[in-house]
């Protein structure tokens, strides 16, 4: 998905979101969310046969091989600045290029890859980061709607009394330019996405706890930018408050776009929405039938007519044409919960999830990718980013995977 009691996100315990039985997706189920310890409480009943079906018993104990995905990166003892603790979960990975990659996670974890090695970047905080926004000018690690840490962001006005940058050059901004419902909200940021040079970045949030007392007018979609008139960070409602009590967008987990103005977002109970004119003053939102009640945890758009969504119990949905026509993918080689999806093209797509599950789509079929070198562990994987075909970085519970364990 903090110093301010307004959000209290740093104290969140693991959040689990499960879907209900659907005719097209029997017994599909998912978990989503996070806490500062970087752990997740997953429903094991939905994964009873997962280890046997996936063949992970042998692979997880096998030594690292050059043609398999293996752990390494910032967890390696030789990492400059010190390795990440194996209890530290990576929540998001994103890069501008193969030599400029950032990953963020639990308890202030920020690491950077420069094309040669991973390095710790000290943000001097114990707040967990749930998303990373790579701007044209610097980076922004998102702890909550109102707590953003910037790095190298020369266009952001620190303002009077701003805190001194951390040893790693990070400065925390307490966002004050935000709608009233953002203050006092318990919404946990779950993802962020922005096209290069776009004015607005889009955020998804999960409200916690889910209860009748939660304001039904709070949306799960927000926008953030550097205000061009004040140079201050500004958070805004993506839509009029209450829109998401009609459209299914209150509990959202992931967002991605084919362009700055054409976005897709997913959430609990199969929520799937299409956002158009995303950079305008009046974006539009259209709910789409995902043909499942399972929670959807990840979405990735290869193009306007090629979008993937993944979720609980191995659910995968695909749009290969009209935006209101999504297909049920039936050849998925797992029933494990899937938490993230990304790729480089229509023939190079990756999905990751529970029990160290890694899947790859080659344009024709989904297949299971072997993961080794885990010493018997089967960590849940929450983040994936592919800079080029055949090159992928995957993060999760105490692990960062790459081919041969090499960056």
Element (H or E) spanning 136, and its range?
A: none
Residues near 334 by beta carbon (within 8 Å), at least 6 away in sequence:
50, 53, 54, 314, 353, 357, 359, 368
CA-nearest of 230, 148, 244 to 192 is: 148
Q: What is the pTM of this model?
A: 0.85
Read off the pLDDT of residues 241-285 as tens digits, 9 standing for 90 and up: 889 888 889 999 999 999 999 999 999 999 999 999 999 999 999
In this structure, are residues 275 and 265 in contact, taking their beta carbons and an 8 Å threshold?
A: yes
Homologous superfamily in CATH for domain 69-403: YVTN repeat-like/Quinoprotein amine dehydrogenase (2.130.10.10)
- The proportion of the chain whose per-residue pLDDT surpasses 70, expressed as a percent, equals 82
In this structure, are residues 339 and 354 in contact, taking their beta carbons and an 8 Å threshold?
A: yes
Element (H or E) spanning 51, and its range?
A: helix 50-54
In the predicted structure, residue 54 carries a pLDDT above the cut 50: no
- Per-residue pLDDT, averaged over 144-163, amounts to 83
Phi, psi of 356 (to 5 degrees): 55, 35
Burial class, 231, CB count within 10 angstroms (exposed 0-12 / middle 13-18 / buried 19+): middle
Q: Which of 160-174, 181-195, 209-223, 365-379 has the lowest mean pLDDT?
A: 209-223
Read off the pLDDT of residues 346-401 as tens digits, 9 standing for 90 and up: 999 999 999 999 999 999 999 999 999 999 999 999 999 999 999 999 999 999 99
Residues near 200 by beta carbon (within 8 Å), at least 6 away in sequence:
194, 223, 224, 225, 278, 279
Q: Which of 247-251, 293-297, 343-347 has the lowest mean pLDDT?
A: 247-251
**C-beta atoms surrounding 302 within 10 Å:** 19
pLDDT score, position 205: 95
In the predicted structure, residue 210 carries a pLDDT above the cut 60: no
Which residue(s) pair with 171 in the sheet? 150
Specify the DSSP class assigned to residue 268: G
In this structure, are residues 103 and 79 in contact, taking their beta carbons and an 8 Å threshold?
A: no
Our measurement of the distance from residue 142's CA atom to the centroid of its chain's CA atoms, rounded to an integer in Å, reads 11
Q: How far apart are CA 46 and CA 28, in angstroms?
A: 8
Residue 74's pLDDT band (cuts 50, 70, 90): very high
- Per-residue pLDDT, averaged over 215-234, amounts to 88
Q: Which of 82-91, 107-116, 168-177, 208-217 has the lowest mean pLDDT?
A: 208-217
Of residues 3 and 294, more confidence is placed in 294
Of residues 57 and 391, more confidence is placed in 391
CA-nearest of 391, 343, 345, 361 to 69 is: 391
- Per-residue pLDDT, averaged over 180-193, amounts to 85
């Amino acid at each position: 998905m903090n110093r301010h009691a307004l959000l209290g996100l740093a104290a969140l315990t693991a959040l689990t979101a499960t879907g209900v039985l659907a005719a097209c997706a029997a017994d599909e189920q998912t978990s989503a969310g996070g806490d500062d310890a970087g752990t997740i409480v997953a429903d094991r009943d939905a994964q009873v046969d997962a280890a046997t079906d996936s063949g992970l018993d042998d692979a997880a104990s096998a030594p690292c091989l050059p043609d398999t995905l293996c752990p390494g990166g910032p967890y390696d003892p030789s990492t400059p600045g010190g390795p990440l603790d194996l209890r530290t979960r990576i929540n998001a990975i994103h890069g501008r290029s193969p030599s400029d990659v950032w990953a963020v996670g639990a308890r202030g974890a920020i690491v950077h890859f420069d094309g040669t090695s991973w390095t710790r970047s000290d943000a001097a905080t114990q707040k967990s980061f749930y998303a990373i926004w790579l701007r044209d000018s610097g980076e922004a690690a998102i702890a909550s709607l109102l707590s953003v840490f910037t790095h190298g962001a020369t266009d952001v006005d620190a303002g009077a009394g701003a805190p001194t940058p951390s040893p790693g050059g990070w400065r925390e901004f307490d966002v004050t330019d935000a709608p009233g419902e953002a203050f006092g909200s318990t919404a946990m940021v779950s993802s962020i996405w922005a096209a290069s040079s776009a004015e607005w970045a889009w955020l998804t949030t999960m409200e916690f706890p889910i209860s009748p007392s939660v304001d039904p007018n709070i949306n799960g979609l927000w926008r953030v930018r550097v205000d061009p008139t004040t140079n201050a960070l500004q958070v805004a409602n993506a839509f009029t408050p209450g829109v998401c009590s009609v459209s299914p967008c209150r509990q959202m987990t992931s967002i991605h776009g084919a362009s700055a103005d054409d976005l897709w977002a997913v959430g609990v109970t199969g929520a799937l929405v299409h956002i158009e004119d995303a950079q305008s003053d009046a974006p539009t939102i259209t709910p789409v039938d995902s043909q499942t009640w399972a929670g959807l945890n990840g979405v990735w758009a290869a193009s306007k007519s090629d979008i993937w969504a993944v979720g609980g119990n191995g659910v995968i949905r695909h749009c290969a044409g009209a935006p209101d026509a999504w297909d049920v993918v039936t050849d998925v080689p797992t029933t494990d919960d899937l938490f993230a999806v990304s790729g480089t093209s229509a023939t190079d797509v990756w999905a990751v999830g529970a029990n160290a599950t890694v899947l790859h789509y080659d344009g024709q079929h989904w297949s299971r990718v072997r993961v080794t070198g885990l010493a018997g562990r089967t960590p849940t994987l929450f983040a994936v980013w592919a800079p080029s075909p055949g090159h992928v970085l995957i993060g999760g519970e105490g692990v960062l995977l790459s081919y041969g364990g090499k960056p």
